[in-house]
A and B are shown apart, each in its own frame.
Chain A
Amino acid sequence: GAVVSQHPSRVICKSGTSVKIECRSLDFQATTMFWYRQFPKQSLMLMATSNEGSKATYEQGVEKDKFLINHASLTLSTLTVTSAHPEDSSFYICSALGTSGRSGTGELFFGEGSRLTVL
């Protein structure tokens, strides 16, 4: 299947610093990517929809100034957690929806996830 890669898989940072997480579609072009947050023993919560070349669409309750999303190319979207605090510690997952071919079927391809721990 199509491959989506996230980096880093784990990051530990101090409170008040910013952390950038990258999401890359390795073998297809993804005009649309999604960022999710997964809390322990809970489902995935959609944070925002990232469209290449335009501003991200954030879900209600998600602070756009805190979670900066950039989708500058058809293969890369980044999530930056700004001025991170311990309550931002979580598992962040990206997914990508392709424009055609095997990735244009409505199936999402997920990255491996990035576990953020803010001390």
Chain B
Amino acid sequence: GQQVMQIPQYQHVQEGEDFTTYCNSSTTLSNIQWYKQRPGGHPVFLIQLVKSGEVKKQKRLTFQFGEAKKNSSLHITATQTTDVGTYFCAEGSNYKLTFGKGTLLTVNP
């Protein structure tokens, strides 16, 4: 699998603020998956993006895959305390998923 770099490493927001995490690669990605891991929990699948320029929404979460398929983003609108956790992107090649280091989101109520 290829290396994917995630930024920022940490993000602290006030409840109600928006949040964005970015996943970047120097080479073209075949697809991107996003996972969320709550503190003390395990990664849970959120979404998979495959097509160039793809945008998918899940309630307050918006996922984008760049036109060049070298980057992806996850945007959360009006964060809530339940959004706390680490968000990982992962790039897939054949059967291998290569994960980024994740962005830890904390939300101040």
A-B interaction: no
Q: Which residues from chain B sit less than 8 Å from chain A, CB to CB?
A: none
